[in-house]
Every structure is written in structure tokens, then in C-alpha cells.
């Protein structure tokens, strides 16, 4: 279980979401309150978009709270759209390649949840990828695989359909599949919560912040107005406003 936060709106310093709020992502990395694991110390990552072109990516295997570079970057770098993630790995080694967000072209993706039967389906999922996406695989996580499968199934043109097809590709296993993910193409930020059984990992969407921007977060960042992101539908933060599509 990990913690995630994302923002879209007028450009702000990254620290306004990641560090400064009372219950910022950095705070959640040490004191998460709505997760089984209170600590998310197995690496972190940020993807942020500038005026155009590909997003920047900054990931490391240290706990977020131990990285002095992160503090500096979050203070200096401003962005109109960014994703951030702190990781609590359940299995496997800690490497930058396994840290979220993942990036492919203009797309970025991060995930909180698990596909418990992933070891059984990993090979088939990888075989099903087109060559370009197969070659793009860098790590060994189920999360990166979900991202590449979404891309293979048309994330670029129809996120809803891509998600439906990806869930079908994951199939069912003995334990529930849980996916709470946030992803972006640089224009919009998409969020999706799903659990095949039981409850999906938490995700909230803010009302308009002081500057008109909006945010997603695993746990509300402050005492403002935060709504639970509904399950099984893609919620979008975009330039116009928040739209919801079933």
C-alpha cells in the first residue's frame, strides 16, 4: 500500500502539495492514517509537466523524508500538473525502476493497490504487449504492467475502454484485485478506484483550492473540502473542471 497525490491547475511549487500541507504526502509517508501500513519508506517519485513536451521524472529508493534533494526540488520547481507517490513495497527489491510514477512518452502513471495473482499472469500479460511496449518495460512490478497494459489497450484514445479491457486482462484470482491509480497525459489527470471484492484503496478529490486548482490524494491533505473518489469510474481533473464519466 502506498500513498499518492496529484495536482492540476495554475502552476504552483510542488511543495504546496507534497510538503507544506498539514497532512502532506511527505507527512503521509511517515504517518498514513487510512492504510494498513503507516509508513511508506520504500522509495518515492514525482512526475511533472512543463509548458510542453515530455514530463520530468524524479525517483529514488530512499524514504522521501530522508532525501534532502526532494525538499529543494519541491521548493524550486513549479508545475501546472504533477503526480507524486511514496511507496510501501510488499514484495521484491527496491530499485528506481520499480518506483512510481512510471512514464511512457507523455503519459505518466502511479498506483496504490495490488494484483495478488500477478506472478501467475505476469508472463501472459507481458507476451500480450506490442513490441514497442514490451521493450519499454524496465522493472518487475505489477503496477508498471498495469500501465503498459492500459497503453496497449488504447489509453491514448479512450481511457474508459482501456481500463475495462485491462481489468479483463488481469482477470480474477484467489485474492481481490485492488487498483487505485492516478495517471495523466499532460492535459488531464485521471483517477480510478476499483476492488474486485471488498473496498478499493482510498482516494479523495479536493474542491477548488485557493488558486482554483484541484488535487487527488490518498488522504485529504488538509481540513478543506475533500470528496471520496467513487469506485469504478474514471474521474478527471482537467482544464475546464472536474468531469465524471461512468
Check binding of 138 to a second copy (CB under 8 A). Answer: yes
- Closest separation between CB of residue 157 and a second copy, Å? 25
Check binding of 151 to a second copy (CB under 8 A). Answer: no
Cα separation, 139 vs 145, in Å, equals 9
Residue among 157, 168, 58 nearest 110 (CA): 58
- Of positions 50, 176, 230, 238, contacts a second copy by CB under 8 A: 50
Segment contacting a second copy (CB under 8 A): 51-59, 109-117, 153-161, 208-216? 51-59
Buried b (16+ CB within 10 A) or exposed e, 28-67: bbeebeebeeebbbbbbbbbbbeeeeebbbbbbbebbbeb
Residues 96 to 115: which contact a second copy by CB under 8 A? 96-97
Cα separation, 133 vs 143, in Å, equals 14
Check binding of 80 to a second copy (CB under 8 A). Answer: no
Cα separation, 104 vs 162, in Å, equals 16
Query: Which one is catalytic: 2, 74, 99, 181?
Result: 2
Check binding of 60 to a second copy (CB under 8 A). Answer: yes
Check binding of 122 to a second copy (CB under 8 A). Answer: yes
- Residue owning grid cell 479483463: 168
Cα separation, 243 vs 177, in Å, equals 26
Phi, psi (degrees; rounded to nearest 5) at 164: -60, -45
- Of positions 16, 24, 89, 202, contacts a second copy by CB under 8 A: 89
Segment contacting a second copy (CB under 8 A): 72-80, 163-171, 198-206, 223-231? 72-80
Buried b (16+ CB within 10 A) or exposed e, 159-192: beebbebbbebbeeeeebbbbbbbbbbbebbbbb
Segment contacting a second copy (CB under 8 A): 37-45, 168-176, 202-210, 228-236? 37-45
- Of positions 38, 133, 169, 242, contacts a second copy by CB under 8 A: 38
Check binding of 228 to a second copy (CB under 8 A). Answer: no
Interface residues with a second copy (CB under 8 A) are 30, 38-39, 41-42, 48, 50, 54-63, 66, 68-69, 72-73, 75-77, 89, 93-97, 119, 122-123, 127, 131, 134-135, 138, 140
Amino acid at each position: 500500500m502506498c500513498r499518492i497525490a496529484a495536482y492540476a491547475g495554475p502552476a504552483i511549487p510542488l511543495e504546496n502539495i507534497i510538503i507544506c500541507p498539514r497532512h502532506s504526502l511527505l507527512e503521509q509517508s511517515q504517518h498514513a492514517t487510512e492504510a494498513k501500513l503507516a509508513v511508506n519508506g520504500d522509495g518515492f517519485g514525482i512526475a511533472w509537466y512543463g509548458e510542453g513536451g515530455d514530463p520530468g521524472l524524479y525517483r529514488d529508493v530512499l524514504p522521501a523524508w530522508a532525501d534532502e534533494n526532494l525538499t529543494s526540488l519541491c521548493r524550486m520547481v513549479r508545475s501546472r500538473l504533477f503526480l507524486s507517490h511514496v511507496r510501501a513495497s510488499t514484495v521484491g527489491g527496491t530499485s528506481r525502476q520499480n518506483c512510481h510514477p512510471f512514464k511512457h512518452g507523455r503519459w505518466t502513471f502511479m498506483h496504490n493497490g495490488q494484483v495478488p495473482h500477478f506472478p501467475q499472469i505476469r508472463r501472459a500479460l507481458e507476451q500480450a504487449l506490442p513490441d514497442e511496449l514490451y521493450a519499454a518495460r524496465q522493472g518487475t512490478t505489477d503496477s508498471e504492467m498495469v500501465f503498459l497494459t492500459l497503453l496497449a489497450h488504447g489509453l491514448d484514445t479512450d481511457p474508459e475502454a482501456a481500463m475495462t479491457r485491462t481489468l479483463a486482462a488481469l482477470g480474477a484470482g484467489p485474492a481481490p484485485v485492488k487498483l487505485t491509480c492516478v495517471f495523466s497525459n499532460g492535459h488531464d489527470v485521471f483517477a480510478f478506484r476499483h476492488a474486485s471484492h471488498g473496498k478499493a484503496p482510498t482516494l479523495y478529490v479536493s474542491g477548488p483550492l485557493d488558486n482554483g486548482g484541484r488535487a487527488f490524494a490518498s488522504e485529504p491533505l488538509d481540513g478543506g473540502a475533500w470528496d471520496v473518489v467513487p469506485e469504478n469510474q474514471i474521474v478527471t481533473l482537467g482544464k475546464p473542471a472536474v468531469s465524471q464519466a461512468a
